Amino acid sequence: MVPSFRPPATRPIPGSYGLPVLGPLRDRLDYFWFQGAEEFFRHRAAEHKSTVFRANIPPTFPFFLGVDPRVVAVVDADSFTALFDPALVDKRDVLIGPYSPGVGFTGGTRVGVYLDTEEPDHARTKAFVIDLLRRGARTWAAEFRSAVDDMLATVEADLNKADSAPASASYLLPLQKCIFRFLCKALVGADPAADSLVDRFGLFILDLWLGLQLLPTQKVGAIPQPLEELLLHSFPMPSFAIKPGYDLLYRFVEKHGAGAVSIGEKEHGIDRKDAINNILFVLGFNAFGGFSVFLPFLISEVGKAGRDGLRLRLREEVRRVLGDGGDVGFTAVREMPLARSTVYEVLRMQPPVPLQFGRARRDFVLRSHGAAYEVSKGELLCGYQPLAMRDPAVFDRPDEFVPERFLGNNGEKLLQYVYWSNGPETGEPTIGNKQCAAKEVVVATACMLLAELFRRYDDFECEGTSFTKLEKRQLTTPTPS
Ligand code: HEM
């Protein structure tokens, strides 16, 4: 007898948006204050006994600003994949949710990252970025090593002169300087040292530029609650506040990154102004923003007190591969499976871009581990990666940090459920999808940072975003096996 396959009957998506104004306000207060983002999604999934449900996502602006906060939340590994399917979802202007900061922040250009795959300029701008990355690969590792060198020299000096006990030195600013400098050089071919204003203020301009775009969607916690809700979460931030800084960076890229700009113009047929605005967005938002969030997660996770066993094994792996004088680079880190698995595990536990959005192109059936839901054309799906990548149907001990999780054949099979790049880790960014153009280079760069730390130090320890111990290398290299 041939078994018959019957697809599961669809069920209505549970949850409601509540009363106008009050429902969104309640969800917004839960999201920012009473529950926090993770508990917001966890609590609703438990309440509705479903990993697909309706909710309002902040920001919730006054209705006349036309930002509709109603979403279909998806928080399991199965349903999340709908967000990666260009046939199902439209990614037009939904990079950070139903609210889009607007072209005032990007010199008047709708940059590629906000374009849907069906818009012709998407393919053009993505191919341009992929080209910049390919070109940058030649100097990427060397520029990264040199910038890390400066960063660690600063942190070591700060740690030595720390007069507090126990000694500690924050690595945040030195790390941001490192990221800014190496990205400008490797990605744009422009050395910030060529322009003293950019050299001194460039990264702070980017921080402010990013902050103004993202503020309405983030909890800041620096001012009392009612003020934060009224002042920061109730209307879009004005782009004119950052225009002089943006213009400074624009001129810097135009002059010192002329080679990169002309690749956009000549090889991809992108208008000069749009090429520069796209370069600035990828440099500032995707790359600088992404690494500024992710690398601190990585350093502090590996450097946590009590992780000595992991650090010992990483040190042995790094030194075995590098031998006595080897340089950290793309080839070397390919041979460091534990470093790579650790990087994946940090990306799984703390994805730097936790939310993904996509608007249903048509009515379709959304599958979620055996359940099925009807999604209507125009509804906005909102995926929350931190829960999807801790889906107990896929991962053992899902809430535990298990650095060796992705080792071996079985470990590698789990990579299809690692979604940090807006696509499975086994997938490939192309001009036809919306997966992060730098998927490979981000993982390799993170491995290089670990390798550089263990090449230099026998051990290190962190508390939050500060180093509390950096033990200079004294131990000898293990003999290659
Ligand atoms: C830790 C660093 C990074 C993280 C976490 C990250 C994450 C992401 C995510 C989640 C998306 C999809 C956003 C969406 O549409 O929902 C994305 C897209 C993108 N990323 Fe990254 N990214 C990082 C670094 C970079 C770097 C270094 C570059 C380039 C130099 C880059 C270039 C892009 C581009 C061009 C897209 C848009 C893809 C498209 O429109 O098809 N990213 N990134």
DSSP string, 249-264: HHHHHHHHTHHHHHII
In angstroms, the CA 361 to CA 377 distance is 5
How far does the centroid of ligand 1 lie from the alpha carbon of residue 235, in Å? 26
List residues near ligand 1 (CB under 6 A). Answer: 91, 95, 112-113, 126, 129, 133, 187, 282, 286-287, 290-291, 294, 352-353, 356, 420-422, 434, 436-438, 442
405 closest CA partner among 415, 393, 419, 391: 415
Q: Going by C-beta distance under 8 Å and a sequence separation of 6 or more, which residues neighbour residue 126?
A: 112, 429, 430, 431, 437
Q: Is residue 478 part of a domain?
A: no
Q: Is residue 210 part of a domain?
A: yes
CATH code of 243's domain: 1.10.630.10
Angstrom distances, CA of residue 411 to CA of 339, 407, 424: 14, 5, 14
How far does the centroid of ligand 1 lie from the alpha carbon of residue 396, in Å? 28
How far does the centroid of ligand 1 lie from the alpha carbon of residue 152, in Å? 27
Strand partners, 170: 466
In angstroms, the CA 188 to CA 436 distance is 18
Domain tally for the chain?
1
What would the two tokens of residue 445 be? 């760069």
Q: Is residue 259 part of a domain?
A: yes
Q: Is residue 49 part of a domain?
A: yes
Closest atom, ligand 1, to C-alpha of 347: 5
Kindly give the parts of the chain with pLDDT less than 70. 1-7, 162-166, 477-481
How far does the centroid of ligand 1 lie from the alpha carbon of residue 417, in Å? 18
Closest atom, ligand 1, to C-alpha of 126: 35
> In 3-state terms, what secondary structure has residue 468?
strand
Closest atom, ligand 1, to C-alpha of 117: 41
Closest atom, ligand 1, to C-alpha of 441: 27
What would the two tokens of residue 343 be? 């990087």
Residue of 110, 359, 436, 441 to mutate, ligand 1, most atoms within 8 A of C-beta: 436
How far does the centroid of ligand 1 lie from the alpha carbon of residue 210, in Å? 15
Strand locations in 52-185 (E) = 52-56, 70-74, 89-90, 169-170
Q: Whose CA is nearest to atom 37 of ligand 1?
A: 113
Furthest C-alpha separation in the chain: 79
> In 3-state terms, what secondary structure has residue 435?
coil
Closest atom, ligand 1, to C-alpha of 434: 41
- Residue-number span of the structural domain to which 58 is assigned: 10-472
Closest atom, ligand 1, to C-alpha of 431: 41
Strand partners, 366: 373
Strand locations in 339-448 (E) = 355-360, 364-368, 371-375, 380-384
Q: Is residue 481 part of a domain?
A: no
Name the phi and psi angles at 422, rounded to 5.
Answer: 65, 45
How far does the centroid of ligand 1 lie from the alpha carbon of residue 94, in Å? 14
Q: Whose CA is nearest to atom 39 of ligand 1?
A: 434
Q: Are 82 and 88 in contact (CB under 8 A)?
A: yes
How far does the centroid of ligand 1 lie from the alpha carbon of residue 285, in Å? 9
How far does the centroid of ligand 1 lie from the alpha carbon of residue 480, in Å? 36
How far does the centroid of ligand 1 lie from the alpha carbon of residue 438, in Å? 6
Q: Is residue 5 part of a domain?
A: no
Q: Is residue 480 part of a domain?
A: no
- pLDDT for position 480: 56
Q: Is residue 148 part of a domain?
A: yes
